[in-house]
Amino acid sequence: MSGAAAHPAQGDPVHGHLVHGHLVHGMGTALEAPAWPAITDEEAEAVLARFVGAGHLAALRWHSPRPFSAATLVETDRGTFFLKRHHHRLRSPAALAEEHAFMAHLRAAGQPVPEVIAARDGSHSVTCGDQVYELHARASGRDLYRDRQSWTPFLSHGHAYEAGAALARLHRAAGNFAAPARGAHPLVASFSILPSSDPQAAAQAYVAARPALSAFLAGGSWLQELSRLFAALGTGLAARLACQPPLWSHGDWHPSNLLWSAQGAVSAVFDFGLATKTCALHDLATAIERTAIPWLDGDPVPDAAAANALLAGYGSVLPLSRVDIADLVAVLPLVHVEFALSEIDYFAGILGDRDQAELAWQSYLIGHAEWFLSPTGQSFLRELGGRTAA
């Protein structure tokens, strides 16, 4: 599971009685009751008054099914906006300011990123008690994937190609964004363990910086499990990643974080909640991991053609060398490790849900990595690696 909320196209009004029945994506395929209740009309109206030019509420048009925050499409007398609410332990105003700065940089470089609306105090978020709100202008395009899970394949290989090209354009625009990596916020795609020459020590430091994660893992064999995975899948990885230029990246590149033109091109990019400084190949590997392997199936059969289409689209803007492809194949099996640890921190700490934390550890962290050791996973890596001979 990844991402906080989709950025939907306009739909039918959502009335109060439907809000109470609102369901969200779970860690599997079933819809579940939300951890964060849907935004109400009264709540939206009060918050909108604190944003510049937002106007007065006319209707709530859609509630996002994404699980890590609450979000809704808001129609006012000034237009249509996207309102998103976070618990302050998940996203503080300072944490939101980091991703908003990245979005502003990309917009200034011509990328199709939604405008973040300023609050009346000059900031770009509003705090009410334990809740932090942000408001975005409505993005342009068709939200073809808005009700689909994060690990959802592209509807066509053409979409995969266009998404790859859009990711390359975003990386090119991000090249001169010089902010430091984000801190130990929950649900951020950090990049400290994979590039370390001592991943075990880096993992221990990562866990120690997150008390809830540390408490959840205490007394278990988690470090031995990670060491086993790195021994099997991470040989030489640090040396490969040392050659990659640092780059602020999206961190959650999948089709439901994109809007689409009628011609099938990417018309908008949103949901930068996981963004931080990693490297281009880490972001590209994440995109493949999110879209080419149907993890929610019991026995996932990967779509190597979709992955190769995404790489071809990327390469049409920023050419990939043989070494780049080899490095990508090397990082892919472990690319989800750090975000999975962040999910565990979120479930064990903010939600206090040990069952979901255990699922994130066993199925998402261990399970995803071990899949790449299976015959199917190894075959998939060989098919991607075969691009080096092209």
> Which residues of the chain, if any, have pLDDT below 70?
1-20, 23-31, 387-390
Tokens of 335: 């690319």
Q: Determine the pLDDT at residue 17.
A: 36
Q: Which domains does the chain have, with CATH numbers?
A: 16-137 (3.30.200.20), 157-389 (3.90.1200.10)
Q: Determine the pLDDT at residue 365.
A: 97
How distant is the alpha carbon of residue 202 from its chain centre?
22
- The answer to whether 216 and 354 have CB atoms below 8 angstroms apart is yes
Q: How far apart are CA 210 and CA 194, in angstroms?
A: 18
Instruction: For residue 305, give the amino acid letter.
Output: A
Q: Determine the pLDDT at residue 19.
A: 55
Q: How far apart are CA 94 and CA 237, in angstroms?
A: 33
Helix (H) or strand (E) holding 71: strand 70-76
SS3 314: helix
Helix (H) or strand (E) holding 131: strand 131-137
Q: Determine the pLDDT at residue 20.
A: 57
Tokens 């999110």, located at residue: 290
pTM given for the model:
0.92
Q: Which residues contact 261 (CB under 8 A, 6 or more apart)?
A: 141, 142, 267
Q: Which DSSP category does 139 fall into?
A: P
